Structure 1
């Protein structure tokens, strides 16, 4: 009894300590104009740069580079971001609500809303008019399921009782033996993309309402990017927002280490698609809309612009990245509870002066970047501290 009491007192003390350390207020608003062009921005094309936008960051879709692009652009033009309070998402998996924004007050305006959330158009429309640019990203459902299963399994109690050395294969062999729709964090195990977009993850794939839902989403989102065609997606985004090619430069961030990825064989891919049929139908719909946009943009023009973007990325990699070796804390991505599988980059010790600031920005993972922008992440840091303490 005394031992239990001492542990409880220690945990409460740790909670209070970390609360005081990490409860920093979010920065005061920068600009929040709906009219004028961002300061210092002169487009080389016959359009005006857009900066009132919402990016829905779907889980495990390889979208961390998009956040980095938005953070860099926002800092450069002093745009106002809506950030969560104490964490990196807007009270996910609950649907988005305005009150989940740090320091929110009625009448507040924001230029950019961009991080993990469960899409709620009615609430978002109160902050950012629906005629502004909403965009998101999708990934092929089978590899996304594999990634989600392994990345989040320490936080999904349903997976803890799955036997055998290959729990994913065991699960896909008979999903209903282990899955329960209402269980804690079960959304990570089925139709995760459809769920993030605000819908029922367990919807019947033969439901006649699905085509209408896809059309509704198509009307809400000006662009649905595809992770498998990331560079082409960025070119379409650049064109949509009337930004410059230099604004779209990126490094792959928060990617899993190569040795941690378990490619699915053909049989498991089909089983994963069968289990995530709604996500598969969702992806197929927006794959078609994506390539229609590419056709409208022009395939030859697309090829040239993708080549230019890749050349710029390679130039920045040569200027910024050292190579293999231990990754410093400043550039080490956030690791989920119980995992150490996200790779980072080493910055060169000596970076030429013209590239130094941009190198630091492009290499900074999203959690550190949010912290640098004044976001309090004390809840996440406290959770990580307590998790490590329990497993010490």
Structure 2
């Protein structure tokens, strides 16, 4: 006889109590105050600028001593498996966590059993054609379907006749079709007119309080700050985990159209949340948004002058501090990073280092057990791969 396991409810929150401050949201006009949101589910989607946002989230959570739900021994929740609460390190029924943010294939019912009931959910999308280009190249070394494509421009050849090369049952095939819909827990092989696609979009809309857009990252952060009642200081950022410009393939209009057609479910998803995103911007106020984005850019530029050695990012081989060294795709070294300024004033030293620390290294600093990833890193360093 198999006995059922009793599940205890997660407390409303175990976050430290913060003082209310003047609201920066629509409530501001009514002279009300708000309390910063501390319980956060961030669905980290692939190739969407999510590593940059993750650094913001790490800094805020570390500052306020929030409790992370981390995976066991690695930097994702056994992706591409559908998320299960048992994937969380030291999980037990009723234990309280404040933040979950590592890569996963979303499973709303299981996530809800890990976090407090009043948790706020956020994720980020990207134009599906640009995302396909990035994913195709970034994951090509671990996607065997791309290995047999002839010619120098494998992506263009693939898009000429995707069904000739694509097979949904092959290893890591999900990287090549409707990747965002897959990350969100959907079936990436569905036809866009399948009723299950519309139903999934409806459920996503109900689950997530904010769906950001990579193409409008700064506007997204302002909306995030508004909804979560954070301060401008909390959302300062440097762009992390980006490719060298020479490694980015510029899509022709023809290839863009083919990429959108091939990723038509992602395109339907993106168009839906693009509309809702701009509705939120309108509600926030266009002029107010422009002022706040300008302020964010000004503050980021100031921090760049303080923190970064040189005017821009540099190739991996030129990065001097291991904490600033980004994770590279297998067999490649096209992800750029930064060098820390050697003459930072004492007041900014800690913040600068935090803002420039890469994801894997920051996870380790926060106490995540990423021994498997660290072993991989050392092996690749030794064999220069």
TM-score (norm 1): 0.88
**Contact conserved, 1:43 with 1:243, CA < 8 A, in 2?**
no
**CA 1:35–1:207 in structure 2 vs 1: closer, same or farther (change >3 Å)?**
closer
Q: Which residue of 2 aligns with 1:149?
A: 136
Distance in 2, matches of 1:117 and 1:42, equals 33
- 3-state DSSP of counterpart to 1:375: coil
CA displacement at 1:42 relative to structure 2:
4.7
Q: Is 1:51 matched up with 2:38?
A: yes
CA displacement at 1:130 relative to structure 2:
5.0
Q: 1:327 aligns with which of 319, 330, 340?
A: 319
**CA 1:316–1:117 in structure 2 vs 1: closer, same or farther (change >3 Å)?**
same
Structure with the larger RCO, 1 or 2 (CA within 8 Å, 6+ apart): 1
**CA 1:373–1:37 in structure 2 vs 1: closer, same or farther (change >3 Å)?**
closer
CA displacement at 1:386 relative to structure 2:
5.1
Distance in 1, matches of 2:154 and 2:65, equals 47
Unaligned runs of 5+ in 2: 1-9, 24-32
**Contact conserved, 2:55 with 2:359, CA < 8 A, in 1?**
yes
Unaligned runs of 5+ in 1: 1-31
Distance in 2, matches of 1:192 and 1:391, equals 30
Distance in 1, matches of 2:235 and 2:217, equals 11
Q: Which residue of 2 aligns with 1:223?
A: 210
Q: 1:128 aligns with which of 112, 115, 119?
A: 115
**Contact conserved, 1:134 with 1:223, CA < 8 A, in 2?**
yes
- 3-state DSSP of counterpart to 1:81: coil
CA displacement at 1:384 relative to structure 2:
4.5
Q: Which residue of 2 aligns with 1:309?
A: 296
Q: 1:379 aligns with which of 355, 358, 372?
A: 372
Distance in 2, matches of 1:181 and 1:92, equals 16
**Contact conserved, 2:15 with 2:39, CA < 8 A, in 1?**
no
Deviation string 1:67-125 (CA, Å, 9 cap, x unpaired) is 11111001111000111111111000001111111222222110001121100000001
Q: Is 1:345 matched up with 2:338?
A: yes
**CA 1:205–1:241 in structure 2 vs 1: closer, same or farther (change >3 Å)?**
same
Distance in 2, matches of 1:359 and 1:384, equals 24
**CA 1:340–1:41 in structure 2 vs 1: closer, same or farther (change >3 Å)?**
farther
Q: Which residue of 2 aligns with 1:251?
A: 238
**CA 1:388–1:327 in structure 2 vs 1: closer, same or farther (change >3 Å)?**
closer
Q: How does 1:92-131 map to 2 (within 5 A)?
A: 92-129=79-116, 131=118
**CA 1:390–1:360 in structure 2 vs 1: closer, same or farther (change >3 Å)?**
closer
Q: Is 1:369 matched up with 2:353?
A: no
CA displacement at 1:382 relative to structure 2:
3.1
Distance in 1, matches of 2:323 and 2:13, equals 36
Q: Which residue of 2 aligns with 1:292?
A: 279
> Which 4+ stretches in 1 moved above 6 angstroms?
388-392
Deviation string 1:205-260 (CA, Å, 9 cap, x unpaired) is 12133223212111100000000000000000001110101101000001111111
Distance in 1, matches of 2:218 and 2:356, equals 18
Q: Which residue of 2 aligns with 1:236?
A: 223
- Over aligned residue pairs, what C-alpha RMSD do you find? 1.8
Q: How does 1:200-215 map to 2 (within 5 A)?
A: 200-215=187-202
CA displacement at 1:371 relative to structure 2:
0.9
**CA 1:389–1:72 in structure 2 vs 1: closer, same or farther (change >3 Å)?**
closer
**CA 1:391–1:115 in structure 2 vs 1: closer, same or farther (change >3 Å)?**
same
Distance in 1, matches of 2:230 and 2:62, equals 14
Distance in 2, matches of 1:43 and 1:315, equals 25
Q: Is 1:179 matched up with 2:147?
A: no
Say which is worse superposed, 95-104 or 289-298, in terms of deviation: 95-104
Distance in 2, matches of 1:66 and 1:43, equals 23
CA displacement at 1:388 relative to structure 2:
6.6
Distance in 2, matches of 1:41 and 1:161, equals 59
CA displacement at 1:131 relative to structure 2:
3.9
Distance in 1, matches of 2:162 and 2:249, equals 19
The count of residues paired between Structure 1 and Structure 2 equals: 361
Distance in 2, matches of 1:54 and 1:374, equals 19
CA displacement at 1:36 relative to structure 2:
7.9
